[in-house]
Amino acid sequence: ETGVTQTPRHLVMGMTNKKSLKCEQHLGHNAMYWYKQSAKKPLELMFVYNFKEQTENNSVPSRFSPECPNSSHLFLHLHTLQPEDSALYLCASSRDGLAGGYEQFFGPGTRLTVL
């Protein structure tokens, strides 16, 4: 595997379900990110982790719970979501999350539908 991988690629869940999204980066990076991309809205940063520590929570509702066990893996735990949470969830990584100028490499995303 190379680059940034995400599983599952598609997920349909009910509002009472609990599910998790997984992201793995094979680039030796130290920073990982979760983004939400909704139709007709800008790509929106959710969380940033740098060396496994969360450095940014962009006012995300608590029904989204991130976890970063090591610099290569990032999870997004989902619980009691709303239909408006349906979107493409993108994971990204970069060499550093605190210093500027490092490009972010994106995974293919998980297309989430909440019924």
Answer yes or no whether residue 55 interacts with another protein by CB under 8 A: yes
Q: How far is the CB of 111 from another protein (least distance, A)?
A: 9
The correct pick among 78, 89, 97, 110 for binding another protein (CB under 8 A) is 97
Signed CA dihedral, 38, 65, 10, 8: sign only:
positive
Q: How far is the CB of 35 from another protein (least distance, A)?
A: 8
Supply 14's token pair. 């009910």
CA distance 112 to 21: 10
Q: How far is the CB of 43 from another protein (least distance, A)?
A: 4
Partnered with residue 54 across adjacent β-strands are: 49
From the list 10-18, 20-28, 43-51, 70-78, the region that binds another protein by CB under 8 A is 43-51
Q: In what order do the strands lie in the sheet with 18-25?
A: 4-7, 18-25, 73-79, 64-70
Answer yes or no whether residue 109 interacts with another protein by CB under 8 A: yes
